[in-house]
Structures are given as C-alpha cells and as structure tokens.
Structure 1
Amino acid sequence: MDSPLAPLVPPASVLNETLGALLLGGFARILLYGVFCQQCFTFFRRFSREGAMLKYSIWALLFLSSLHIAFTIHPVYILLVSSVGKILVPGQVPWSVAASTIVTMASDLIVRSWFMYRVWILSDRCLALIVPPLVCQLFIVAVAARVIILGTLYQPQNISDLFLTILAVIVVTDFYVAVCVCWFMYRRGQNASSRTRSLLKTLTVYIINSGLVTSAFWLVCMITHATMPRNFVFLAFLSPVTGLYENCLLASLNARDWFRHEMHGAASIRLTPQGSSAIRHFSGLSYKPDVPETTSDSHSRSFGSGHGVLPGHVAIQVDREEAKAVL
C-alpha cells in the first residue's frame, strides 16, 4: 500500500520572506490597535463635549481600524492554516490584503485631512499652502481607485508602478505637512517668552518625530516593494503604518490636558472658541472641555483671529505675550 504523500514545505528562505513577514506585520498592527483603542477611550472620556466633526472622525477611524484588523488576521490564517502543505506562489496573496490596503487609504485620508487642517489654521487660513497636499491627496485617491478597478492589486506586472507612485506621493505629502507646521510654530515662538518657546520646541520635536516615523515606514515599504516585488516583506511595514497614523493623531489630541497643566500658573490655555458668535460659527468644530478652563488676567490679550481655537490645536496665552501651537 502506498504511503500518503508528505505535505510540501517551502524552503526556509521563502517562509521568512512571505509568511514570516506577514506574521510580523500582523503582530505589529494588532499591538498598535490595542494602543489606539486605549487612546480612543481616553479621548471620549476626557473630551466628551468635543465638536461633532472631530468625534465622528474618531469613530470612523475606530471602525476602519477594527476592519483593518480583520483584514490583517484573515490572510495570516489563510496562509498559515488553510494553505498548509500548498505551494506558495510569489506575488499571489488573499483578497483581504487588497481590501486592507483600501481601508488603509481611507483611514489615512481622514488623518491626513486633519493634519492639512492644522496647516490651514497655522497659516491664518492661507489656501495656497494647503493646495499642494490637497492635490497630492486627490491624486492618491484617484490612483488607488484605478488599482481597485484593475482588480489585480498585487500582481507586480500590472500595477507595481502605480503602487510605488502612491507610496512616493504619500512620503512627499507627509514631509510637506510636517515642515509647514514646524515652520509656522517656529515663527510663532520668535517673540514669545522662554517658557512658551520651550513648549513650542517640545511640540516641534514631537511633530518631527511622528512625521519621520510614518514617512520612514512608507519609504521602507516603497524600497522593499521595488527591490523585492515577489515576496511579502513590504507588508511587514505596510500593515502597521495605519496604526501609527491613528495613534499620532489621538496622542496629540489627548496631550492637550498635559499642556494645559504644564502651563498652569504662568499662562492659560484656551481650548474653546472665544465669544458666542465663534461658538455659533464653529458649532460643529468647537472644543468644549469637561473641566473649567483657566483664564488669564486683564493684561492678557488673545492671539490670532477672533474665532478662537478649533479642535486639534491649543492657543497659549501668556501675560503680554502669546503663541499658538498646534498639537
């Protein structure tokens, strides 16, 4: 009687570059998802009276992140459990990998829109400065839609150039936004007090570090896909990058309480629009903290427009000096 055929086991090098990379990327994504859920819990507990637009954005990010987790686990299960003993064909992955990329683009669109909004606020609502990242974002959406229409997301012979183009544009867009925010914060701190300059410097370092981390992941993903298009190494960096974006946004929003306490006594941090007309004008965007805000003395004067502060950034009022810092 003939013995049953032994299951086919791919070489170790193939497993490292395919299943190993996919598994490590999934682990990193799940870890960041746990951190993001904790950040969301903190946000809704501390800022339950936040503007509707920002809260809806966070809920949308939480839904997309949960969906992305499902699309991250599915290919790992299919390739490690359902496909045991089968020959791995380089360049062919389950449909959920393509679906996870679509979810990634949608989630990044929301986060990057808030980052562009910050540039618009810091530049005193200069539309010319947000046109370049806006055009890049529309280009990314258009190319991603083209990839979906083709229906061959990870067949390198068909859409490899499109995929690399998307990654390159994302890196350029993130770098542009980070540079703009840091430049305007530097200008705001020129005539501020030493304590305000120290706070602005801390914010600048945070923005640079968060921008560098996400840009580095996109850049490594682009390089690995260009040099090794027939394996899954690039997925080890593509999977967690969405979690990095989401956590960067939530961490900056949740840090507003820390900055308020940091400046307590020497300054006041207004997190709500000043005046009833401002609240009416930005009824969907105004930030209304659950704790009483600290007010400065009669010598303090507001900085910027009369509409006050919108979600995602903090106006620091110091006696006779002021600075506006975007978190």
Structure 2
Amino acid sequence: MLATPWPTMGAAHIGAFISSMLYGVTCIQTFHYYRSARAKTDSWKTKTFVLALLVCDSTHQALIIHISYYYVITHFADPIALLTNIWSVAASLLVGAVIACQVNGYLVLRIWRLSGNRFLVSFCSVLVIGFAATTLAYAIRESVYFGLPHRRSN
C-alpha cells in the first residue's frame, strides 16, 4: 500500500472544493445584486466596484484551482514538488490581498459615512494598510523563492 507522503494535501484539495462552492455563492449574489432595485439606484462607482470584486474573485478561484491541480493531480506522489512553490501561490496571495483590501477599504468608507468618527476610521485604515503591507511582503518573499526549493532551518 502506497502511503501518501503529504497527508495535508487532501485537506488542501477539500479546501479548494469549499472555495469553489463559496465562489458560486459570490456569483449568485452578484447576479442578484445587478437584477435588484438597489442596483438601479446605486452609482456607477458601486456597480463597478461589485464587478471588480467579481473579477478579482474569479481570478483568485482560477489560481486556487491551478495550485490544487498542480500539487494534487499533476505531481501526485511526487514529494519533491512540494519543496517548490509555483507562480500561482504568490499570485493567489496577491489577489487575495487585493480582494481583502477592497472589501475592508469599502467597510472603512461605510464606517466614515455612518459615524464620522475620525479616530475609528484612522484606526481601521491603519489595520487595512498593515494587512496589505504584510501580505505584500509575504507574497514578494514567496515569489523570490519561485521555483526554488525551500531552505529548511535547523
């Protein structure tokens, strides 16, 4: 019996399937938004924002599927492949960070419009910028190791 050298790849593959299901929910919500009465009264900026989120989420989902296919299907039973990062790992991190910054930035804008509390908006903005900076730094770090085996520290 062949023992899988990486038992967590099954969990990652299940995570890709769950992500696909949630992507379907996003598509349905977007479809319902554009058909709703609310969309008819919203500005073109809001409509464009919703479309940009759908495009980013579609790109992110495609990258997740590529990662899962590469490690689980193409390189099945190839433990050496796990020592390298493919380009879609860093790209997925970047697109995920863009999505999170878009959504969190819109939330900060809503907080500003509803409360007008400058301290709260400033605090939330610092958190959003900090998240974007750390995610960007991590994605750059991963892209530096693109295609190279990870160095293991003792």
Which structure has the bigger radius of gyration?
1
Please give the alpha-carbon distance, in whole angstroms, between the structure 2 residues aligned to 1:153 and 1:135. Answer: 29
What's the CA shift for 1:137? 1.3
1:25 maps to 2:15: yes
What's the CA shift for 1:126? 2.0
1:149 maps to 2:149: no
Question: Where do 1:136-215 residues align within 5 Å?
Answer: 136-150=127-141, 151-152=143-144
Q: Equivalent residue for 2:88?
A: 96
Q: Is the 8 A contact 1:75 1:93 kept in 2?
A: no
What's the CA shift for 1:44? 0.4
1:108 maps to 2:100: yes
SS in 2 for 1:84: coil
What's the CA shift for 1:121? 2.4
Please give the alpha-carbon distance, in whole angstroms, between the structure 2 residues aligned to 1:135 and 1:128. Answer: 11
Decide which structure has greater helix share: 2
Decide which structure has greater strand share: 1
Q: Equivalent residue for 1:87?
A: 79
Q: Is the 8 A contact 1:147 1:153 kept in 2?
A: no
Q: Using a 3 Å threshold, how does the CA distance of structure 1 residues 156 and 29 change in structure 2: closer, same or farther?
A: farther
Identity %: 26
What's the CA shift for 1:94? 2.4
Supply the AA of the counterpart residue of 2:35: R
Supply the AA of the counterpart residue of 2:130: F
What's the CA shift for 1:88? 4.3
Please give the alpha-carbon distance, in whole angstroms, between the structure 1 residues aligned to 2:105 and 2:152. Answer: 32
> Taking structure 1 as the reference length, what is the TM-score of the superposition?
0.41
Q: Equivalent residue for 1:128?
A: 119
Please give the alpha-carbon distance, in whole angstroms, between the structure 2 residues aligned to 1:67 and 1:89. Answer: 24
Please give the alpha-carbon distance, in whole angstroms, between the structure 2 residues aligned to 1:79 and 1:126. Answer: 47
Question: Where do 1:73-84 residues align within 5 Å?
Answer: 73-84=65-76
1:45 maps to 2:45: no
> Taking structure 2 as the reference length, what is the TM-score of the superposition?
0.81
Question: Where do 1:238-249 residues align within 5 Å?
Answer: none
How many residues get paired? 146
Q: Is the 8 A contact 2:60 2:92 kept in 1?
A: yes
Supply the AA of the counterpart residue of 1:69: Q
1:10-61 Cα shifts (integer Å, max 9, x gaps): x34x4431x2122011001100011110000000011234112211110111
Q: Is the 8 A contact 1:72 1:100 kept in 2?
A: yes
Supply the AA of the counterpart residue of 1:130: V
Q: Using a 3 Å threshold, how does the CA distance of structure 1 residues 81 and 113 change in structure 2: closer, same or farther?
A: same
Supply the AA of the counterpart residue of 1:143: T
